[in-house]
A and B are shown apart, each in its own frame.
Chain A
């Protein structure tokens, strides 16, 4: 057999094996979680708070906590990332040092371990911005913002997810044809009108893809919220931005490492993981449906 023909057989075989490996790995995880978690799911599990040192009861506060922090994260991260991408594409020339610097920063940001973001959030938001806000907004001696809370955790998470939003929106903006920008400018539109009425509507799918990726990346992360807002256990739900919150991922982490009786919490761990997966899927699906609607409207 010649070398060329050998490669023709070997390459599909090796690549196919890799695909199989991926499918088996994902399948094993999913099946394990679904089989063990499904029996846990009940209305009570979804709507009540943990009881008896987390060995019984539900995970409602954690569901709400994760939901809120993901939404706040998206509301901050997606617009900031989108505006950054617009600036990079529209106002900075393709070979300027500024663009290279920002791109380098974005790529570096994407490679930083998430625990470092957690420490950044603690140092920057909780210990620097927080005291500043307290000195302006809070009564003398009262600490409202200079402590971990859901706002700081969400903002930390937004910083973490910025790179994926920026890259996704940038790619999408760069595919908007040059000729329709020219058409807009030739009609006496200003640069901003052109961006707002032509470029952004035509990049809306990229912006929502950025949102999908941000939610996927952010919803399951635990490290960034460890020091910035997640709580072990809270008797009350989170009502304000300056409250701490419970979180599904963090809940799994503490039950499996901090609980006095880890075995007793195993079922709840599975159930929580399954709920976290479902919540992430739901948020993703919402963004994907929105993207589909928008795409239809833009092309209508």
Chain B
């Protein structure tokens, strides 16, 4: 199963919050430079799994795991892995847009600055490039030094994407990035995802079946902490091999 193309490989990944086991032996291979969507009903573990990939769950008291996650061949749970540089490589966009209460410019410049980019010319260049990549530059270029909190919801979420791009990640995790947005802003985010997959591996959690069908190359279906099925999106939505998958996708439960 596992080949060269697989950038992320998980082996028998279990995850616990205290005594509650929320992920059961997840085995998954994720391809580089593709969009992979995680679908499943609320509480099925897809966000928990996503947050394992950049070890955001380390922050949660009483959380622990068993099993391995290999990214580019290296187990990210190994002792010698620096979680700070891992998160630099594996960026994350959250469900609720969470810009810092700083200016638009300072939001995007935050990542480069904490990662040691000091020259103001360099920072400016990165900020402009990232905002362009996030298709936000034209909308904010005249208000770079206004508060990011003054932007609309959709702009804030694209700003968060730009902020993630500014640290030059290889993989971008997106946790329901459009769930709080109107259809037009959602469409912009989806266009952006299609654009970004040329350079980045993207993993997106979504509750929106159509969105998964539109943006992703692969879809993984989670239920009650188990990976039920994962395949090419085309196949998952037309001819899934498991009955539960079909029931969920056609809206029979969930």
Which residues from chain A contact B167 at a C-beta distance below 8 Å? 187-188
Which residues from chain A contact B98 at a C-beta distance below 8 Å? 177, 179-180, 182-183
A190 to B54, alpha carbons, bound, how many Å?
Answer: 14
A298 to B85, alpha carbons, bound, how many Å?
Answer: 28
Q: A273-300, CB under 8 A of B: which get 1 and which 0?
A: 0000000000000000000000000111
A299 to B99, alpha carbons, bound, how many Å?
Answer: 12
Q: Are B163 and A187 in contact (CB under 8 A)?
A: yes
Which residues from chain A contact B56 at a C-beta distance below 8 Å? 182, 185-186
Question: Nearest Cβ in chain B — how far from A121, in angstroms?
Answer: 39
Question: Nearest Cβ in chain B — how far from A148, in angstroms?
Answer: 46
User: Which residues in chain A, 116-135, are within 8 Å of chain B measured between CB atoms?
Assistant: none
Q: Are A187 and B94 in contact (CB under 8 A)?
A: no
Residue B230 CB within 8 A of the other chain: no
Q: Are A185 and B87 in contact (CB under 8 A)?
A: yes
Which residues from chain B contact A184 at a C-beta distance below 8 Å? 100, 110, 114
Which residues from chain A contact B61 at a C-beta distance below 8 Å? 93
A48 to B164, alpha carbons, bound, how many Å?
Answer: 62
Q: Are B100 and A198 in contact (CB under 8 A)?
A: yes
User: Known interface pairs A179-B98, A186-B56. Does A299 touch B147 (Cβ–Cβ under 8 Å)?
Assistant: yes
Q: Are B87 and A186 in contact (CB under 8 A)?
A: yes
User: Known interface pairs A180-B101, A300-B147. Does A187 touch B96 (Cβ–Cβ under 8 Å)?
Assistant: no
Which residues from chain B contact A100 at a C-beta distance below 8 Å? none
> Chain A at the B interface: mostly helix, strand, loop or mixed?
helix
Q: A156-186, CB under 8 A of B: which get 1 and which 0?
A: 0000000000000000000001011011111
A186 to B172, alpha carbons, bound, how many Å?
Answer: 11
A183 to B163, alpha carbons, bound, how many Å?
Answer: 9
Which residues from chain B contact A190 at a C-beta distance below 8 Å? 84, 114
Q: Are B114 and A188 in contact (CB under 8 A)?
A: yes
Q: Are A182 and B87 in contact (CB under 8 A)?
A: no
Which residues from chain A contact B99 at a C-beta distance below 8 Å? 180, 183
Q: Are B164 and A187 in contact (CB under 8 A)?
A: yes
Count of chain A to chain B residue pairs whose CB atoms are closer than 8 Å in the complex: 69
A197 to B111, alpha carbons, bound, how many Å?
Answer: 11
Size class of B's contact patch? 20 to 34
Which residues from chain B contact A198 at a C-beta distance below 8 Å? 100
Residue A193 CB within 8 A of the other chain: yes
Residue A202 CB within 8 A of the other chain: yes
- The listed residue (A182, A197, A298) touching B110 by CB distance below 8 A is A197
Of all chain B residues, the one with the shortest Cβ separation from A177 is B98
Of all chain A residues, the one with the shortest Cβ separation from B92 is A186
Residue B28 CB within 8 A of the other chain: no
A93 to B87, alpha carbons, bound, how many Å?
Answer: 23
Q: Are B101 and A183 in contact (CB under 8 A)?
A: no
A187 to B103, alpha carbons, bound, how many Å?
Answer: 17
Residue B158 CB within 8 A of the other chain: no
Q: Are A188 and B111 in contact (CB under 8 A)?
A: yes
Q: B172-208, CB under 8 A of A: which get 1 and which 0?
A: 0000000000000000000000000000000000000
Which residues from chain A contact B94 at a C-beta distance below 8 Å? 179, 182-183, 186
Q: Are A187 and B88 in contact (CB under 8 A)?
A: yes
Of all chain A residues, the one with the shortest Cβ separation from B146 is A300
A10 to B213, alpha carbons, bound, how many Å?
Answer: 66
Which residues from chain B contact A182 at a C-beta distance below 8 Å? 56, 59, 94, 98
User: Known interface pairs A93-B61, A300-B103. Does A188 touch B87 (Cβ–Cβ under 8 Å)?
Assistant: yes
Q: Are B115 and A188 in contact (CB under 8 A)?
A: yes
Which residues from chain A contact B88 at a C-beta distance below 8 Å? 187-188
Q: Are A299 and B111 in contact (CB under 8 A)?
A: no
Residue B45 CB within 8 A of the other chain: no
Given A187-B114, A189-B114, A299-B147, output 5 extra A-B contacts at Cβ < 8 Å: A180-B99, A184-B100, A185-B59, A187-B110, A190-B114
A–B pairs, 16, beta carbons within 8 Å: A180-B101, A182-B59, A182-B94, A183-B94, A183-B98, A184-B114, A186-B56, A186-B94, A187-B91, A187-B110, A187-B114, A187-B115, A187-B163, A187-B164, A188-B114, A299-B147
Interface residues of A (CB under 8 A from B): 93, 177, 179-180, 182-190, 193, 197-198, 202, 298-300
The 7 closest A-B pairs by CB, nearest first: A188-B88, A179-B98, A187-B111, A186-B92, A189-B114, A183-B98, A193-B114
